[in-house]
Structure 1
Amino acid sequence: MFQPIYPMRTPRLALRPITVGDLDDVHAWQSRPDVVQWMAGAEPRTREQSRASVLAMANEDALRAEGDCLTLAATTEAGVVGTVELVWRSQQDRTAELGYVFHPDHGGRGLATEAATALLDWGFDRLGLHRVYARCHSGNTASARLMTRLGMRQEAHHVESYLFRGAWADQLVFAVLAQEWRAGQQQAGTAGP
């Protein structure tokens, strides 16, 4: 079993498992059309649908087996501002998929980048991952920019590769290898003003 020591701390965030007490904060973004617009099949959620989502995420506190998802609440003094997740896609290939959702009211301040960086650090250093990838709808430019900020390279642009809200959609795939991640983090740590 692989589980971070909680809370994982960054300069402005504490990352920890979701709890039932996070329902109000999670529902605040899951109920917004501008947040779910890029999620396949997702519509703004009712409070009861958010409750079911929170209960499911509350069980995603560790990676026990291939296919498991680790979902962490990104918290500030304002409460839960978003979530980051790592899905263990292949034990043999040491591969995982990164995901994230943040409340737009907390956007533009680098919080999603900070949270994803902490989770990627943990995945490469503690889980021993070789490669992490992330995917997004080609129209989700904010997500593509975040992946680029994280040092991920765009590996693919799959044309009309999946049905999205009744129409064929393009998907972008970004990835980063462990050695690329470490080199990028080392360079970021030694970069001057």
Structure 2
Amino acid sequence: MSAPQVLLRPMGPGDHDRVLVWRNLPEVARWMYSDHAITPEEHARWFTGALADARRRYWIIEADAQPVGLANLYDLATEHGRAAWAYYLADPSTRGQGIGAFVEYWVIEHVFGELGLNKLWCEVLIGNEPVWRLHEGFGFQREALLREHVLKEGALTDVVGLGLLARDWAKARAASRARLAARGFDLPV
């Protein structure tokens, strides 16, 4: 079985309504820091800010030409050589196909290659073990356990902080690339 064709394209005005629906899906919202249903007005403010903020970048993840999720950089601090990132797959049918791993590889390559940064970091709710383990598989190291950091469903929950340095990626890149190639993904050179 061949891997889906995955593309990350910049988020644009035409993605406004789709992203609002995605942000409110229970399977997406369960791993976000917020717990409430996002209103159209709240989303409009966020969306406008997301497109205008130079310290953020958003991409729509497409699999076989269909929009299936969102990836982003935030707290992009070129003066410090770092950025944070997050992503989600909104379409449950895409999970388990390696799309998240492809997105991870693409974002890492973008951060250390095109942007020339030194560090990529992220925060993941402790209960989202498949995602923080995926990050570790790409060379991320656990740098923090933020205890009782986020209120989710009425309970305080821990957050795992993970970081990847450019020099760590240089060591992990070949193995990560080989795993994706073995799954049939077409990777840029």
Same fold (TM over 0.5): yes
Cα 1:97–1:24 change in 2 (3 A) is same
Report which stretch shifted further, 120-129 or 161-170.
161-170
Q: Deviations over 1:102-121 (max 9, x none)?
A: 11332111112211211210
Q: Deviations over 1:130-189 (max 9, x none)?
A: 111111111122321221232212122222234445433211011111011122113444
**When the two structures are aligned, how many residues end up with a matched partner?**
178
**Correspondent of 1:70 among 57, 67, 70:** 57
Letter in 1 for 2:34: G
SS in 2 for 1:151: coil
Residue 20 (str. 1) matches residue 13 (str. 2): yes
Alignment of 1:99-118 (within 5 A): 99-103=86-90, 104-118=92-106
**Correspondent of 1:33 among 15, 20, 26:** 26
Counterpart in the other structure of 1:134: 122
Letter in 2 for 1:91: T
Letter in 1 for 2:165: L
Alpha-carbon distance between aligned partners in 2 of 1:44 and 1:189, rounded to the nearest angstrom = 38
Alpha-carbon distance between aligned partners in 2 of 1:51 and 1:78, rounded to the nearest angstrom = 25
State the TM-score, normalized to the length of structure 1.
0.76
Cα 1:143–1:43 change in 2 (3 A) is farther
Whether contact under 8 Å (1:33, 1:44) holds in the other structure is: no
Letter in 2 for 1:77: D
Whether contact under 8 Å (2:4, 2:64) holds in the other structure is: no
Q: Deviations over 1:75-97 (max 9, x none)?
A: 12352111111124433331111
Alpha-carbon distance between aligned partners in 1 of 2:27 and 2:83, rounded to the nearest angstrom = 27
- In the alignment, structure 1 segments of 5+ residues that lack a partner are 1-9
Cα shift at 1:20: 2.6
Counterpart in the other structure of 1:182: 170
State the TM-score, normalized to the length of structure 2.
0.78
Letter in 2 for 1:115: V
**Correspondent of 2:74 among 80, 84, 87:** 87
Name the Cα RMSD after superposition. 2.8
Letter in 1 for 2:83: A
Counterpart in the other structure of 2:110: 122
Whether contact under 8 Å (1:159, 1:170) holds in the other structure is: yes
Flag the structure with higher helix content.
2
